[in-house]
Amino acid sequence: MGDIFSHLWDGAIFALSLWNILAIVIGYAIGIVAGAIPGVMAVTAMVLILPYTFTLEPLFAIALLMGIYKGGAYAGSITATLFNIPGTPEAAATALDSYPMFKQGMQKRSLEIALWASVFGGTVSNFLLVFTAPPLAEVALRLGPSEIAALILFSLTAVITLLGDSRMDIWKGFISITLGLMLATVGLDNMSASRRYVFGIEDLDNGVPFVLTIIALLALSEVFIQAEKVGGFTLGNAAEAVSKIIPYTWKQRWLDLKICLKDLIRSSLVGSLLGALPGIGATTAAFVCYGEARRSAKKNARFGDGDPRGIAAPEAGNNAVAASSLIPLVTLGIPGSVAAAVMYGAFMIQGMIPGPMLMMEHPEIIYGLFVLLIVTDFLGAFVVALPFISVVQKIFKNLNYSLFFPGVVVCCVVGVYAEEFNVFNLRIFLALGFVGYIMRKMGMSIPPFILAFILGPILERNTRTALLLSDGSPMIFVQSPITLGLLILAVAALGWSLWRKTRGGKSVLEVPEEFKH
């Protein structure tokens, strides 16, 4: 424990420079703007910024991306409150109570509850990350290749089995994972350095670039999806005029804190736990926390009609996911969410491989990241978010989507080109963007594809190393209790999930259809 505090102190000295704080502020502001625009998520903004982080200092780049992520996590609640249009999918649960509260003239109350809950959830999750990551990293260092391969398989299975709502979804999810693993095999074989699936094209020797793939699958495919909805983004009657604005007094703040405290604590812990599991994501956490708050409330609760707990619970839950989703990344080197995958990319761009080794060899960087995470919640909320609410309102009302999305495509293409200054990459980018669009049309989820694409080389290296160590015998995967346990868990999770769907049971982590990826 003493070590953690000492490392945190060193991390603070290393990370808390004026530039890094500036990066948080800029990032949070970008995240708020991006998160408030429907159709553009914070992750999209992170992805667009990612290729430009090549020339930045490591912690500046990480702080910038973290700021965007955290800013985006809060921002969705602004438009959800003011216009009943969630800027991000996770804010959809917040809108159920924040918009009715706004309509009653309590705009300030609603936005402040969301802000406080975000800070609370984020902070609890940050501390959970700080105190659980070091012991987990030590355990991770003792894992051999077969255990790591089994862990990756389990993570990929968990992504699908927890989120699929039908058996069809589960099979589609697995196909998505397999296609991601296949794409990762393009290029030089990482053991023998011979070429695979390159069709004689030398540009493919190094494989399909990681940054390009993420931008194509997340941002470009999103633009194609938005092209279908031309004219769909109108405020219509959403932005109803509120004749009377009720001030938010300190007495009311105190009362709200008393009412919400239990839900804040529970939702922060639930969000943190769900976030630490690969693939769950903030949207699911927000709906689970909202459901829990509603379930545990007394009969006189006003859920759906502006109950403060209906805002606090999902906001604390979805913001708690932000930090805890980094736990698998910093401890095992396995990104558990798309945002964590982008952070993984940012580390790679800076020449660092996230995981237990980085934590042991360069603790100042990891603990610096932890300190920045803690600072981001407070700094972002009080320096950026509060003054930015009116800015977001203006941007949201005046944004011209017909010019915005073509502009996004230009940013994507320039970002991809700037990575290697290679026009060939743009062709792959375009092809992958369309593949992403088709996959989404087919109802195949993109995040499992991306996670599999990132984890593919690690899975292959460890599987083949394990087989080399055992002279080709697959028995190595059942000899270690950890490997065997993880494989049994993966199979059991799949079996349980299929059985549940056969019986027609709904997912316990139920998210409305329109808010899924």
Partner 1 sequence: MNARSELSIATVLIGFSMLNYFYLIPTQVVAEGSSPVYPALINTMLLCFSLAYLGEGVRSWRKQRQAQSEGTGGGKKLMVRPLAMLVVTGAWVLSMEQLGFIISTFAFLMIASRIFGSKSWGKTLILSVAMPLIIYFVFRGLNALLPEGPAEELINLILG
Q: Which is nearer to partner 1, 179 or 358 (CB)?
A: 179
Contact 440, 222 (CB under 8 A): no
> Per-residue contact track with partner 1, 162 to 191, x per CB under 8 A?
-----xx--xx-xx--xx-xx--x---x-x
Strand 195-196 with 187-188, pairing: antiparallel
Residue 165 CB, nearest approach to partner 1 (Å): 13
> Per-residue contact track with partner 1, 390 to 419, x per CB under 8 A?
----------xxxx-xxx-xx--xx--xx-
The one among 103, 108, 196, 500 contacting partner 1 by CB under 8 A = 196
The one among 1, 18, 241, 423 contacting partner 1 by CB under 8 A = 423
Spatial CA neighbour of 313 closest among 284, 299, 283, 292: 292
Stretch of 238-246, 287-295, 422-430, 503-511 lying at the interface with partner 1 (CB under 8 A): 422-430
Spatial CA neighbour of 68 closest among 28, 21, 25: 28
Q: Is residue 460 within the footprint of partner 1 (CB under 8 A)?
A: yes
Stretch of 41-49, 123-131, 273-281, 426-434 lying at the interface with partner 1 (CB under 8 A): 426-434
Q: Which is nearer to partner 1, 423 or 475 (CB)?
A: 423
Q: Alpha-carbon torsion 262, 324, 331, 24, what sign?
A: negative
Rounded Cα distance between 220 and 224, Å, is 6
The one among 13, 254, 441, 488 contacting partner 1 by CB under 8 A = 441
> Per-residue contact track with partner 1, 24 to 63, x per CB under 8 A?
-------------------------------x--------
Contact 335, 343 (CB under 8 A): yes
Distance set, CA 214 to CA 43, 448, 484, 517 (Å): 10, 12, 32, 14
Residue 392 CB, nearest approach to partner 1 (Å): 21
> Per-residue contact track with partner 1, 321 to 360, x per CB under 8 A?
----------------------------------------
Q: Is residue 500 within the footprint of partner 1 (CB under 8 A)?
A: no
Strands (E) across 180-267 are located at 187-188, 195-196
Strands (E) across 167-322 are located at 187-188, 195-196
Contact 365, 58 (CB under 8 A): yes
Residue 226 CB, nearest approach to partner 1 (Å): 8
The one among 103, 108, 195, 516 contacting partner 1 by CB under 8 A = 195
Contact 382, 372 (CB under 8 A): no
Spatial CA neighbour of 376 closest among 42, 5, 38: 42
